[in-house]
Structure 1
């Protein structure tokens, strides 16, 4: 500790020694100053400085020694029945604080779980009147009003679906059931859900599925397709959306290509970030920035790699690379 003390104050010590030597130098070059008197004074100053440093060392390090001893006493593994009351008090305080923090953490976790359950219950309850509303909309005869209400109904439905899956994402590993999924059936089902929106915007689909089955989870793969198809429809107008599947190097590859407004190059690395929306086009003020974030989370859980290619005003292509079946079996421990 002595060396540490000197090292921390070396600049002040060197300054003092320099001043003493400077005084001796002045006496040496000035014949009118008695050298013996100066050397005597410098010697006295040096002794006083030595005593001062020693005194300050004892006073300043006493506090740090007490802290070090106290830290050493916090090693509860060395506490035994013969330890001092101070050490026992430290141990009791630590145990009491640990128990209190554990209780607070458990209460917060229970509160979060309860809030999550309440939200899921609310979403499922809202689906009942939403289904009834859909049936009533289908009975309408006025086509323009019917299309407008169908579009607004679809927006509510997609937002609720997104919120439902957002609450399930943290425990997605417990919600997976891997099986052979009929890709053609799944994609056509998601397109039918968007039918009213597509008719209003004049959007069609060009489907070319060379591979019709893939090993995955049907529910979460449907969610991924729903988000990508919804984005393609949302940011396109009066054009075709191409959906195709191929096999490359024993991997199934599915691509969804639109000819909409596209994504700026600077935005592509951030589109999967939570809450991120376009930095160049702000007209879509209703965007939450959660769709692609949740899509990436679900894809990662299914070990699906998503690739994005886009150009502004030319369109966007999302490509899903599914893992090989033997790799997927190894990863999931099937």
Structure 2
């Protein structure tokens, strides 16, 4: 800030120094003017000018220092009140622009919330005919056609469910209800949803749930399991998917292991990034790259740590480590 102040006042400083130099030069040329007293006066003037600069630095930079330290939170109370006319011009401009930004932000927020509410309402409305469609498919006699239609129905159902949770993820903290949840009930429920797809692909499940009860939000934990199990089925051709739970260091651990195509080591650090699909199957247009991103977004507020072990052609293991009970006692009250 000192360097900026000196640059701003450089022309005034040079003007003062030039004036003092002219006085000394005239006294040097004119024998009628004693040089020594002039030099003494110039010296005192320089000291006075330096003191003046220090005083003006403190007064003139107070307002701009507050601007430099101001966090762009649209809160103008953090800025020092302007003193000089030029500072008032800056302050008035800031106030006007800030108020305009606040109004625009409020309008955009209202518009966004309205669009989100309309989309959520539309998704819920679409689920009704989807349920009816599923009941119709279940009554079909042609088994081959029934399997195909069930698979396509399931894809639509899962995509709508993913979009519904994507819209809610920004407000997940307001939607959480921590309670005792049965892992067995959640896992079995999600497997039943994928049953027709698993039968068509010849995929079975092996459950080894030694630890059943965890403290979590049932709805969001079910969504996390749904995404991981869906990926496990999607990228497996046949065989079994193993789901096991156990206690490690006083924490419940849930592992979901498939023996599908696996994940390349260069992709592992990026699989939870928004929009990332794969470098192995980059031509796969069916993948949106949103499922695992939403899994990580939902897991963080639940206190669940997720890690992945995988190798191409050997399958993948997703590990969910749940927080200890006492970390959620205050939130849940259970």
TM-score of the pair, normalised by structure 1: 0.75
Change in Cα spacing, 1:333 to 1:190, as seen in structure 2 (3 Å) is closer
Q: How does 1:92-107 map to 2 (within 5 A)?
A: 92-107=92-107
| Rounded Cα–Cα distance in structure 2 between residues aligned with 1:281 and 1:90 | 55
Q: Does residue 242 of structure 1 match 2:242?
A: yes
Change in Cα spacing, 1:240 to 1:273, as seen in structure 2 (3 Å) is same
1:201 corresponds to: 201
1:302 corresponds to: 302
| Rounded Cα–Cα distance in structure 1 between residues aligned with 2:64 and 2:142 | 82
Deviation at 1:328, TM superposition (A): 2.9
Q: How does 1:134-213 map to 2 (within 5 A)?
A: 134-213=134-213
| Rounded Cα–Cα distance in structure 1 between residues aligned with 2:194 and 2:121 | 25
**1:215 and 1:325 in contact (8 A); partners too:** yes
**1:268 and 1:308 in contact (8 A); partners too:** yes
**2:261 and 2:313 in contact (8 A); partners too:** yes
2:267 corresponds to: 267
Deviation at 1:321, TM superposition (A): 0.4
| Rounded Cα–Cα distance in structure 1 between residues aligned with 2:91 and 2:212 | 65
Change in Cα spacing, 1:93 to 1:129, as seen in structure 2 (3 Å) is same
Deviation at 1:182, TM superposition (A): 1.2
Deviation at 1:5, TM superposition (A): 6.6
1:281 corresponds to: 281
Deviations along 1:161-199, one digit per CA (max 9) or x if unpaired, are 000000000110000000000111110000000011001
Query: Superposition RMSD on alpha carbons, in Å?
Result: 2.6
Structure 1 unaligned runs (5+)?
7-64
**2:177 and 2:332 in contact (8 A); partners too:** no
1:77 corresponds to: 81
Aligned length: 269
Deviation at 1:93, TM superposition (A): 3.4
Deviation at 1:307, TM superposition (A): 1.2
| Rounded Cα–Cα distance in structure 1 between residues aligned with 2:271 and 2:210 | 29
**1:198 and 1:233 in contact (8 A); partners too:** yes
| Rounded Cα–Cα distance in structure 2 between residues aligned with 1:219 and 1:72 | 50
Q: How does 1:23-34 map to 2 (within 5 A)?
A: none
The structure with more radius of gyration: 1
Secondary structure, in 3 states, of the residue corresponding to 1:199?
helix
1:222 corresponds to: 222
Secondary structure, in 3 states, of the residue corresponding to 1:77?
coil
Deviations along 1:14-47, one digit per CA (max 9) or x if unpaired, are xxxxxxxxxxxxxxxxxxxxxxxxxxxxxxxxxx
Q: How does 1:8-87 map to 2 (within 5 A)?
A: 77-79=81-83, 84=85
Deviations along 1:251-304, one digit per CA (max 9) or x if unpaired, are 110000000000000000000000001101235321000000000111111010
| Rounded Cα–Cα distance in structure 2 between residues aligned with 1:72 and 1:160 | 51
Deviation at 1:90, TM superposition (A): 4.6
Secondary structure, in 3 states, of the residue corresponding to 1:93?
helix
| Rounded Cα–Cα distance in structure 2 between residues aligned with 1:257 and 1:88 | 65
Deviation at 1:249, TM superposition (A): 1.2
**1:305 and 1:321 in contact (8 A); partners too:** yes
Secondary structure, in 3 states, of the residue corresponding to 1:295?
helix
**1:76 and 1:91 in contact (8 A); partners too:** no
Deviation at 1:87, TM superposition (A): 5.7
Change in Cα spacing, 1:222 to 1:78, as seen in structure 2 (3 Å) is same
Change in Cα spacing, 1:88 to 1:309, as seen in structure 2 (3 Å) is closer
1:114 corresponds to: 114
**2:180 and 2:215 in contact (8 A); partners too:** yes
Change in Cα spacing, 1:324 to 1:90, as seen in structure 2 (3 Å) is closer
Deviations along 1:83-109, one digit per CA (max 9) or x if unpaired, are 75x665554433222221211111111
